[in-house]
């Protein structure tokens, strides 16, 4: 009995100390910068701090009222004494419930409001174009076979996304607006695309890597993982048609590929036959492809201890020499949670072998560090002046999505897909907002894969890169100047309505524009 009594005393004392420390921590962090109240650590501390304050006020109030009730009894004022006693008991009950574990822990996982500031011509805008007519894969051979993926429909949804993203109704004006906005944001004035400027397009061909030996390095035919989801060649062709025919970019100044993988014949024939002047880069540089080699531009890692690795990382030359980068990711989940635009640039480095003797980027992923408020290497990549910060446009190819990096595409069950291929493209000028929407879409399909602890922590860190929850000084080029926030992050209100702050007419968060693909003229 004495042991149990002591344990109760220690638990009560521990609760008081925890509440006091949580209150002090919340005040010290939030008063200088109120936006920190939305940080994961502050959202976790707030229930303890608020419960402690409630207990302090209600408990002291109850004690005062009970003392008054006693005084009223002494002078024979029974009605007043009963009233004070009743109110005092209520305050005491309220104070006790405020200290219960269920109350203090219930709010720890609540959804948060927008973090960071939206980017883009229309800040925080993400375009979602959905056209079921774009896909008709039967589950055999390559999903991107022209028999199953309609190039005219893909052309239409890419063009539609670009127009909606810019707020223009004409393709040419849309691209001009996007280039001018990008250059204005980089301090170069409202200038459009200038003849001779280079554009590098990073695609996701992760199932065509050398490690999994899915592509024959001599013939360049893809022999394995044929039904896996990679960036579709139809999306690449649609984008090239937009750049060359609408934005008036010389194809000789465009490069497209994946630095660590091979550009297989099944993709090469579709793209190269129409655009032979474009440079197609990959890991080997055989059969007409160009080998990706590193530049002298260092990719600095902001994590403590990262400088102790044997080999340094350098931005690939194709990106370092480009004036603009376009990031085409794939709508699929991953061991890390999701594999979207940030993860696509994660594979933009020249690592041979991939990780040996380099700083291990995987240690910063959510499955290795499932706690919130951690250093995330994604942020260094997203903000590097020679890579992420050069990215003009972010696209997510959702024609055929997957539940793993190498998985066969699966039909999406949730609305608006309704047991069909997702047949979707997402587009944005905000790298944080587009991954936030992609995460919300994938979380409805594979909650067991995507809803891992801290799956969106890299988005918290990126949105608040100037003052991140982890306290990391993100300085990806090592020049001593920390990053500013990279975009805006939040989750939609629910999977049925799919609304974000700007859709609901409040806040300055994400604006999701969902639309069906336009009907084609026959």
| pLDDT score for 23 | 61
Q: How many other C-beta atoms are found inside a 10 Å radius of the C-beta of residue 219?
A: 12
pLDDT at residue 450 in the model: 72
Of 281, 284, 355, 361, the closest CA to residue 321 belongs to 281
Cβ-in-10-Å burial (0-12, 13-18, 19+) of 89 comes to middle
Residues 6+ apart with CB under 8 A from 186: 389
For Cα atoms 428, 430, 432, give the angle at the middle one, nearest 5 degrees: 115
**Are residues 199 and 326 in contact, defined by beta-carbon separation less than 8 angstroms?**
yes
The mean pLDDT value of the chain amounts to 84
Of the candidates 436, 445, 368, 465, the one whose C-alpha atom is nearest the C-alpha of residue 404 is 445
Give the three-class secondary structure for 291: strand
Question: At 316, is the secondary structure helix, strand, or coil?
Answer: strand
Global pTM? Answer: 0.80
The residues near 333 (Cβ < 8 Å, ≥ 6 apart) are: 339, 402, 403, 404, 442, 445, 446, 449, 450
pLDDT of residue 209: 83
Q: What is the pLDDT of residue 293?
A: 95
Instruction: Let me know the angle formed at the C-alpha of 354 by 307 and 371, rounded to the nearest 5 degrees.
Output: 60
CA pair distance 141, 175, nearest whole angstrom: 35
Residue carrying the six token digits 């190819």: 397
> Is residue 416 exposed (0-12), middle (13-18) or buried (19+ Cβ within 10 Å)?
middle
pLDDT of residue 177: 98
420: tokens are 């069909």
Q: Which residue in this structure is represented by tokens 């035919």?
A: 221
- Compute the residue count for the chain: 522
For residue 108, how many other CB atoms are within 10 A of its CB? 13
Rounded (to 5) percent helix, strand, coil in the chain:
40, 15, 45
Ranges in the chain, pLDDT < 70: 1-67, 69-111, 353-355, 521-522
* Cα Rg of the chain (Å, integer): 27
From the CB of residue 9, how many other CB atoms can be counted at a distance below 10 Å?
Answer: 10
408-453 per-position pLDDT tens digit: 788 999 999 999 999 999 999 999 999 999 999 999 888 877 778 8
């Amino acid at each position: 009995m004495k042991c149990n009594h002591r344990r109760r005393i220690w638990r009560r004392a521990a609760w008081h100390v925890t509440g006091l420390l949580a209150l002090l921590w919340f005040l010290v962090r939030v008063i200088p910068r109120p936006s920190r109240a939305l940080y994961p650590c502050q959202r976790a501390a707030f229930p303890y701090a608020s419960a402690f304050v409630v207990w302090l006020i209600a408990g002291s109030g109850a004690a005062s009222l009970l003392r008054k009730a006693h005084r009223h009894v002494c002078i024979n004022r029974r009605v007043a004494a009963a009233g004070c006693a009743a109110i005092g008991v209520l305050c005491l009950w309220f104070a006790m419930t405020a200290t219960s574990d269920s109350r203090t822990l219930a709010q720890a996982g609540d959804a948060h409001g927008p973090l960071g500031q939206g980017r883009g011509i229309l800040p925080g805008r993400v375009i979602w174009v959905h056209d079921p007519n774009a896909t008709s894969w039967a589950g055999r051979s390559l999903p991107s076979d022209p028999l199953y993926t309609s190039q005219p429909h893909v052309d239409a949804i890419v063009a539609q996304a670009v127009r909606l993203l810019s707020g223009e109704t004409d393709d040419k004006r849309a691209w001009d607006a996007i280039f001018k906005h990008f250059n204005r944001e980089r301090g170069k004035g409202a200038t459009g695309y200038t003849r001779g400027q280079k554009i590098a397009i990073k695609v996701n061909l992760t199932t065509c890597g050398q490690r999994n030996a899915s592509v024959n390095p001599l013939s360049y035919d893809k022999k394995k993982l044929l039904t896996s989801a990679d960036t579709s060649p139809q999306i690449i062709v649609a984008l090239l048609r937009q750049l060359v025919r609408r934005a008036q970019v010389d194809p000789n100044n465009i490069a497209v590929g994946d630095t660590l993988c091979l550009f297989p014949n099944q993709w090469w024939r579709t793209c190269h036959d129409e655009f032979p002047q474009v440079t197609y880069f990959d890991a080997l540089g055989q059969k007409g492809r160009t080998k990706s080699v590193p530049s002298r531009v260092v990719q600095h890692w902001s994590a403590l201890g990262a400088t102790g690795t044997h080999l340094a990382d350098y931005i690939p030359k194709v990106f370092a020499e480009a004036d603009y980068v376009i990031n085409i990711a794939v709508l699929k989940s991953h061991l890390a949670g999701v594999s979207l635009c940030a993860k696509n640039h994660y594979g933009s480095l020249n690592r041979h072998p991939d990780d040996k003797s380099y700083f291990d980027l995987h240690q910063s992923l959510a499955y290795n560090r499932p706690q919130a408020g951690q250093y995330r290497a994604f942020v260094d990549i997203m903000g590097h002046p020679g890579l992420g910060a050069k990215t003009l446009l972010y696209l997510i190819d959702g024609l055929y999505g997957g539940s793993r990096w190498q998985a066969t595409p699966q039909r999406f069950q949730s609305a608006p897909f309704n047991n069909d291929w997702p047949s979707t493209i997402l587009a944005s000028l905000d790298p944080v907002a587009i991954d936030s929407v992609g995460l919300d879409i994938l979380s409805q399909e594979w909650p067991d894969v995507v809803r891992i602890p801290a799956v969106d922590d890299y988005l918290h860190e990126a949105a608040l890169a100037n003052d991140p929850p982890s306290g990391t000084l993100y300085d990806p080029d090592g020049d001593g100047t920390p990053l500013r926030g990279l975009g805006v992050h939040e989750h939609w209100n629910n999977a049925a309505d799919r609304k974000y702050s700007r859709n609901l007419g409040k806040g300055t968060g994400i604006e999701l524009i969902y639309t069906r693909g336009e009907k084609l003229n026959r």
